[in-house]
Amino acid sequence: MDSMDVSFILNEYGEERENYFNAIAPPIFQTSNFAFKKVEDLRKVFEDEMSGYLYSRGINPTVDILRKKLAALDNAEDCLVFNSGAAAVFASVLASVKAGDHIVSVDRPYTWAQKMFDNILPRFGVTTTYIDGTKIENFERAILPTTSLIYLESPNSWDFALQDLSAVAELAKAEEITTICDNSYCTPLYQKPIDAGIDMSVQSATKYISGHSDTIAGVVTGTKQRMKKIFDSEYLNIGSGIQPFNAWLLIRGLRTLPLRLERISNTTLTVVAFLKQHPLVEKVIFPLDETFPQYELAKRQMKGACGLLSFVIKAERMEQVITFCESLDHILMAVSWGGYESLIIPRCASLTPADFDPANTEHRMLRLYIGLEEANYLCTDLEKAFSKIG
């Protein structure tokens, strides 16, 4: 599909101001249902609920504006927006499998994707093989005659491992296997999986699209045919479509998405440079750093990367990692990312002190998210925490 200007998509596309008093900001259609004058019109929407306004578990005008913008950003024909990223993952995967099918997934996908593969789908006879997705041969080897879905997350939101999206898409097409890629890390501004031939792109809009740490939401994009199939079944049946107010918050978030990503990209470069020269840092893991093992693929496949990185600190004991995190004044300890505020999560939070092994770099690893603060403000905070363990 021809792509539109990003500025047009974010500022105008999908909005019909003349229909709502030429208001600049679109209204929130906070309504559960819509009235009809003619039985014939009601019949049409009963036949195809995606074709009109009937009930807001299905189609809602505020949500429609958001759907149009998000589809256009991904160069996709259509889009569905859910009440969480987890729901978007769940619906897109569920729509792609039936009893007896097999899924090939990258190692360590997002926690709730993995829990669905491990705990829910096996109850319905669907099994999953996890592979190291950095090598295309691993996909070739894992595919079975019953494989109906390849599930990707590139970059992965913990270790940032990438998959070659075009190569996987080509392989999957030849085998008639559906592909889904979790694109939360990059957003459509930095990577367009659909353009690489992936069937469905999924993101947690809770992260960069919202950008303000105040909304939970998720996105699936793909062809009209795929979106219609999911809408008629999983979307309406699970009933986890986004609510109009949250859709409005995401439209508002989209207005500043390029600006926020640009700002965070610049700050990230400064913070990465600061961490790399620090004597207490053993390693920095960031896809657009030359030391990253898949740096060449990252540069070829992604227009940018920002905000989310990991680093390994030099520590003998778990208490040093704990002291480091608890000594930060401004960088908050919290899950999630993509908002205005910088965040940190130590890997060792999921370990008991007795299991801590200083020889294991993962145990000394911290995931840092860089928000909208000044670079210097963040480096000063990090330096203060380092001084407590040095």
Ligand X SMILES: *Cc1c(COP(=O)(O)O)cnc(C)c1O
| Closest approach of ligand X to the CB of residue 386, in Å | 27
Q: How many residues bind ligand X (CB under 6 A)?
A: 14
Q: Is 246 in the site for ligand X (CB under 6 A)?
A: no
Residue 184 binds to ligand X (criterion: CB under 6 A): yes
Residue 154 lies near ligand X (rule: CB under 6 A):
no
Is residue 157 part of the contact set for ligand X (CB under 6 A)?
Answer: yes
* Burial class of residue 175, CB neighbours in 10 A (0-12, 13-18, 19+): middle
The single residue among 90, 110, 274, 292 that binds ligand X, judged by CB under 6 A, is 110
CB 373 → ligand X: shortest distance, Å? 21
Beta carbon of residue 186, minimum distance to ligand X (angstroms, whole number):
10
294 forms part of the interface with ligand X (CB under 6 A): no
Residue with tokens 């990465």: 272
Instruction: Give yes or no for residue 84 binding ligand X (CB under 6 A).
Output: yes
Bridge partners of residue 311, in order along the sequence: 284, 366
- Residue 236 CA to residue 138 CA, distance in Å, equals 36
| Ramachandran category for residue 318: left, alpha or beta (phi over 0 → left; psi -120 to 50 → alpha) | alpha
- Please answer whether residues 219 and 79 qualify as being in contact, where contact means their C-beta atoms are separated by less than 8 angstroms: yes
- The nearer residue to ligand X, 95 or 389, going by C-beta atoms, is 95
The single residue among 179, 187, 201, 206 that binds ligand X, judged by CB under 6 A, is: 206
Nearer to ligand X, 62 or 206 (CB): 206
Q: Which of residues 125-144 bind ligand X (CB under 6 A)?
A: none
> Which pair of structure tokens corresponds to residue 257?
């998405």
Residue 273 engages ligand X in binding (rule: CB under 6 A)? no
Residue with tokens 């008639």: 176
State yes or no: cis peptide before 155, omega within 30 of 0: yes
The answer to whether 148 contacts ligand X (rule: CB under 6 A) is no
**Could you say whether residue 200 binds ligand X (CB under 6 A)?**
no
Helix ranges restricted to H, the chain? 6-11, 39-47, 61-73, 85-94, 111-115, 136-142, 165-174, 187-190, 224-230, 244-255, 257-277, 295-301, 318-326, 375-387
**Residue 84 vs 179, nearer CB to ligand X:** 84
Figure out which of the listed residues 4, 50, 216, 273 binds ligand X, where binding follows CB under 6 A. Answer: 216
User: 344 vs 385, which CB is nearer to ligand X?
Assistant: 344
Instruction: Give the neighbor-by-neighbor strand order of the sheet with 343-346.
Output: 281-285, 308-313, 365-369, 343-346, 332-333
Q: How far apart are CA 60 and CA 102, in angstroms?
A: 35
182 binds ligand X (CB under 6 A): yes
Among 133, 155, 218, 253, binds ligand X (CB under 6 A): 218
Instruction: Check: CB of residue 179 under 8 Å from CB of residue 198.
Output: yes
Residue 207 CB, shortest distance to ligand X, in Å, is: 6
Residues that bind ligand X (CB under 6 A): 84-86, 89, 110, 153, 157, 182, 184, 204, 206-207, 216, 218
